[in-house]
Amino acid sequence: MGVLVSAADLLAADPTRAVLLDVRWALGDDRGRERYLEGHLPGAVFVDLETELAGPPSAAEGRHPLPSSQRLQAAARRWGISDGDTVVAYDATGGLAAARAWWLLRWGGLTDVRLLDGGLDAWRRAGGTVEAGAVVPGPGEVTLTGDGMPVLSIDEAAALPSSGVLLDARAGERYRGETEPVDLRAGHVPGAVSAPTTENLTPDGTFRSPAELRERFAALGARPGGTVGVYCGSGVTAAHEVAALSAAGIEAALWPGSWSQWSADPTRETATGPGPA
């Protein structure tokens, strides 16, 4: 099953036949629901990343730990998802937030889950209309398990550079330790490779082609059949990198705790600078 659906293809396929999830969120910006109410894809349901796509934050587990499969299932049913449904998630930031919903539903066991390539902007460019106000669907009946995607623990992430590739999806300046606006310490996991998520996208916010992504990840040491893990600040944009890797034919494990978990543990060594060549 593919990762992406284009706006043109979604329009042609009749978007009302899919469950549409609006996941507008950005770090430090709590106006996602407000923007959703101003205009969203017809029939789309708003998904709150902080409360529905994450468990309670803690120093031990990170800022956005995985919700339990039961909690995710309850949320998915509120969104109107039933077994066998096609689900399309989108946002207005190139999929950087929506990929968390994509990943979680895949982790929960759903297979027909896509990201709207280019999100709301691509939808509008393709001639799609938007509607205002809230959508409250009827309850769904989906069953989720929580074992459909590979996950790394903090110890597995620490060991991965010796046997595979651990990609750091944060901005380069955070990886290098030049700045840290959110977490307790600056820097990166020793041996991790800098792979900013934003470089998965073209200037118009759509994903680069699979061939371009394969070339990008090969240069970082990640290839089909290899052992690859991904982290970011708190497991949100890392999901976007997992999606890009999947589009390139590379399976990768997500480390949900990510840097927020690592930096809160004073026993964990921190590296700074450009990292591995």
Whether the CB-CB separation of 277 and 253 falls below 8 Å is answered with no
Q: What is the DSSP letter of 50?
A: H
Characterise 249 by phi-psi region: left (phi > 0), alpha (psi -120 to 50), beta (else): left
Which residues form the catalytic set?
A: 232
Query: Does residue 100 sit in helix, strand or coil?
Result: helix
Show the CA angle centred on residue 101, arms to residues 99 and 103, nearest 5°: 65
Show the CA angle centred on residue 48, arms to residues 46 and 49, nearest 5°: 130
Nearest CA to 250 among 232, 271, 231, 227? 227
Give the list of residues 6+ apart from residue 12 with CB closer than 8 angstroms, or none: none
Whether the CB-CB separation of 151 and 254 falls below 8 Å is answered with yes
Q: How far apart are CA 72 and CA 63, in angstroms?
A: 17
Find how far residue 8's CA is from the centre of its chain.
Answer: 22
Nearest CA to 158 among 251, 268, 274, 277? 268
Whether the CB-CB separation of 109 and 144 falls below 8 Å is answered with yes
